[in-house]
Structure 1
Amino acid sequence: MAHARWHHIVMESQRHALKAVDEWNCSDGNYSDFLTHMHKAWHYLLHAEFRKDKIDYHYKDSKTGRYKLIDGEPKAWDLEWCLKMRYPNARDIVRLNAELFVALRNKVEHRYEHNLKIVTGGKAQALVMNYEQEMVAFFGSKYSLADRLRFPISLQALTAEGRKQLQEAAKKLPKHTRDVVAKFEADIDQAVLDDLRYDYRVRLVPIVGSKTEADLAIDFVKLDELTEEERKVMVEAGRKGMVIIKDRHVEVADKDKLLPKQVARQVEAQVPFEFHIQPEHTEMWRRLGVRPTAGAADPYSTDARYCVYNEAFKSYAYTPAWVKRIVKEIGTAEKYRAFFGKEPRMKMVIPLPKQAVSPTEESGSHPRSKSA
């Protein structure tokens, strides 16, 4: 059976994706090769989509309308342009993730590959998962790579010594290499940076108890498929660093958290003007993206550094760091004015009443100074 041209392009795309993952998981794999193969995997995938949809993906001269040629053949769109055509929104999370690795491919230095691989691990995981989801969404589940990819075994992720090595490796990156990522992310919203489609991070929780034949060594769960209680445990574990060991866990969900009234009171104690829940506090968390508005589809979508959602009470609690952030943002009259666009209401200073003084005290003598 003869396949359409787009099918062969998909097969080439998958070949590069598998090579990329092999390079990443191999103990002596090459980070540059991973970047190159994933670049080609995405490039061929989008070309296959365009071809299947009968979209001409070749450059044309804007004046003549003729194809631009390379070695006598029409020049195909590069990956950056393909991403722009597939994801027209410049803030699209999948597009941003892929564009980061386009930038890294052009800048990576061989001697810092290992360190850069460690720093970008979650983003690379997201790059591969986004590729798989794009493949299946467009061409169907029969083109999935899920049955050919395995979860890697990593001592670095499973031992304290390994984690220390990871942290040390990240510190050794030279400034100009770190800046590749830092500059790329400078104007990206925090909500995007925290999204799993941009940076895929996981927490491994050892499974204990009896094992059935259906159990897998690695099992992924979706939050929307859990019960309310299970969801609460998993979300807090991911956001707040809960450590689950065997049949007990350390719950840190609401420790040291503050209610809005407490936040306002602590802030007002540190600034020279009045600070209230309404309108100041509400406007600050809304404008700084600390938590979603009431009735949001996902109430858990908070900036966990400053705020967490309490499932039991259907309300939000704030961290001491949020108080510090508020004071830093609007702690002076000038900063308040710049943030809110209005004058702060300064605290009233009530003078202490002058203490009454007896005639004897005014004369400078003390009643007890008299001799008995």
Structure 2
Amino acid sequence: MAYARWRHILTESQRHALKAVDEWNCSSGNYCDFLTHMHKAWHYLLHAEFHQAKIDYHYKDAQTGEYKLIDGEPKAWDLEFCLKQRYPNSSDPVRLNAELFVALRNKVEHRYEHNAKVATGGKAQALVMNYEHEMVSHFGGTFSLAERLRFPVSLQSLTAEGREQLRAAAAKLPKGTRDLVARFEAAIDPAVLDDLKYDYRVRLVPVVGSKSDADLAIDFVKLDDLSEDERKVMMEAGRQGTVIIKNRHVEVADKDKLLPSRVACLVESQLPFEFNVQREHTEMWRRLAVRPTAGASDPCDTDARYCVYNEAFKSYAYTPAWVKRIVKEIGTVEKYRAFFGREPRMKKATSLPRQEGPTSSSLHDAQPMRETA
């Protein structure tokens, strides 16, 4: 049976995707080979889509309209250009995720492959899952690779010693590669950085209780399939580092949470004008719907990207992403005027440095948690 050309291109794409996953999961696998094979998998996948849609995906000379040739053959669009055509929104998390790996492919040094693999694990998982979703959504479920892939068995990430080794490996990533990722992500909205299509991070929760014949060793739970209450619990666990064991919530850390006074201090240090907890901060969280007002029926109804409710102290704490959001919204005099409709109070050159508020560690102290702004 003769297949259409797009199907042959898609088959080659799948071959590279499977090879990439094998390289990742194999204990002796090569991270650079993973990057190369996933690059080709995405490249061929988008070419197959364009071919099926009868979109000419070859470069032409802007002056003559003739094809640009390589070894006598029309030069096909590279992956970066294909991504821009398929995802015209430059903030699309799928496009950004793939573009990051295009950049990493040309940067990773062989001797630091393991470190890079550890540091980009969640993003690599997103790269593969985005690939599968793109293929199935465009060509149908019969082309899914799900039945040919298995969840890897790992010793390292399931023990305390293993986790420490992973953290140490990530810390040894060369400055050039760290800077590449930092520069790439600096211009990305925090909401996109949190998107699972950009960085897919998971937490393994052992299943307890009796086992039925239908149970799998690994069961993925989609947030959309959960009730509203269940979804809030899982989202909170994912953002706060909460481990769910049977019916208990165990807080791992609140290292990144900030009290209002600390938020104001960090924000003001980046502005040419004053930023006050009661005057500006309160107005901002109200207008941007970051948390409910005092006395709300559900005090936990926060935007978890920016704010969480501490049940023990009946108060709110904020994330570093909230500091970035504030600076982004009102970081200049013009933005301040547009947001508040008034003039900012400029800092005086002779003013003394503002005393910093409590640090995030104060979340464990009852007294500081009385702040409510």
Q: TM-score, normalised by structure 1?
A: 0.76
Structure 1 residues 9 and 202: alpha-carbon distance in aligned structure 2, compared to 1, 3 A threshold: same
Q: What letter corresponds to residue 215 of structure 1 in structure 2?
A: D
- Aligned partners of 2:113 and 2:332: how far apart in 1? 45
Listed as ranges, the matches of 1:1-372 within 5 Å are 1-250=1-250, 263=260, 275=276, 280-283=281-284, 291=290, 301-303=303-305, 306-308=306-308, 318-319=316-317, 325=323, 340-341=336-337, 342-344=343-345
Q: Is the 8 A contact 1:337 1:344 kept in 2?
A: no
Which ranges in structure 1 are unaligned for 5 or more consecutive residues?
330-334, 347-372
Deviation, structure 1 residue 233? 2.3
State the superposition RMSD in angstroms: 3.8
- Aligned partners of 1:48 and 1:105: how far apart in 2? 22
Q: Is the 8 A contact 1:286 1:292 kept in 2?
A: no
Question: 3-state SS of the aligned residue for 2:221?
Answer: coil
- Aligned partners of 1:36 and 1:264: how far apart in 2? 48
Q: Is the 8 A contact 2:123 2:198 kept in 1?
A: yes
Match in the other structure for 1:365: none
Q: Is the 8 A contact 1:6 1:49 kept in 2?
A: yes
- Aligned partners of 2:175 and 2:315: how far apart in 1? 37
Question: 3-state SS of the aligned residue for 2:304?
Answer: coil
Q: Is the 8 A contact 2:274 2:344 kept in 1?
A: no
Which ranges in structure 2 are unaligned for 5 or more consecutive residues?
294-300, 338-342, 348-373
Q: Is the 8 A contact 2:309 2:315 kept in 1?
A: yes
Structure 1 residues 176 and 208: alpha-carbon distance in aligned structure 2, compared to 1, 3 A threshold: same
- Aligned partners of 2:212 and 2:284: how far apart in 1? 52
Structure 1 residues 3 and 343: alpha-carbon distance in aligned structure 2, compared to 1, 3 A threshold: closer
- Aligned partners of 2:197 and 2:302: how far apart in 1? 17
Q: Is the 8 A contact 1:307 1:317 kept in 2?
A: no
Structure 1 residues 229 and 135: alpha-carbon distance in aligned structure 2, compared to 1, 3 A threshold: same
C-alpha deviations, 1:308-337, integer Å up to 9, x for none?
Answer: 269x9xxx9631667x959x97xxxxx996
Question: 3-state SS of the aligned residue for 1:319?
Answer: strand
Q: What letter corresponds to residue 100 of structure 2 in structure 1?
A: L
- Aligned partners of 2:262 and 2:91: how far apart in 1? 38
Deviation, structure 1 residue 170? 0.9
Deviation, structure 1 residue 39? 0.3
- Give the number of the structure whose alpha-carbon radius of gyration is greater: 1
- Aligned partners of 1:196 and 1:300: how far apart in 2? 20
C-alpha deviations, 1:211-246, integer Å up to 9, x for none?
Answer: 000101111111221123322322221121222234
- Aligned partners of 2:286 and 2:18: how far apart in 1? 44
What percent identity do the matched residue pairs reach? 67
Question: 3-state SS of the aligned residue for 2:55?
Answer: coil
- Aligned partners of 2:332 and 2:75: how far apart in 1? 55
Match in the other structure for 2:367: none
Structure 1 residues 148 and 187: alpha-carbon distance in aligned structure 2, compared to 1, 3 A threshold: same
Q: Is the 8 A contact 2:285 2:291 kept in 1?
A: no
Question: 3-state SS of the aligned residue for 1:250?
Answer: strand
- Aligned partners of 1:116 and 1:3: how far apart in 2? 39
Structure 1 residues 336 and 132: alpha-carbon distance in aligned structure 2, compared to 1, 3 A threshold: closer
- Aligned partners of 2:68 and 2:33: how far apart in 1? 29
Deviation, structure 1 residue 16? 0.2
- Aligned partners of 1:21 and 1:14: how far apart in 2? 11
Match in the other structure for 1:367: none
- Aligned partners of 1:278 and 1:165: how far apart in 2? 46
Question: 3-state SS of the aligned residue for 2:180?
Answer: helix
Q: Is the 8 A contact 1:264 1:281 kept in 2?
A: no
Q: What letter corresponds to residue 316 of structure 2 in structure 1?
A: Y
Q: What letter corresponds to residue 290 of structure 2 in structure 1?
A: R
Q: Is the 8 A contact 1:115 1:173 kept in 2?
A: yes
Q: Is the 8 A contact 2:9 2:44 kept in 1?
A: yes
Q: What letter corresponds to residue 170 of structure 1 in structure 2?
A: A
- Aligned partners of 1:336 and 1:187: how far apart in 2? 17
Deviation, structure 1 residue 176? 1.2
Structure 1 residues 190 and 115: alpha-carbon distance in aligned structure 2, compared to 1, 3 A threshold: same
Q: Is the 8 A contact 1:60 1:67 kept in 2?
A: yes
Q: Is the 8 A contact 1:336 1:344 kept in 2?
A: no
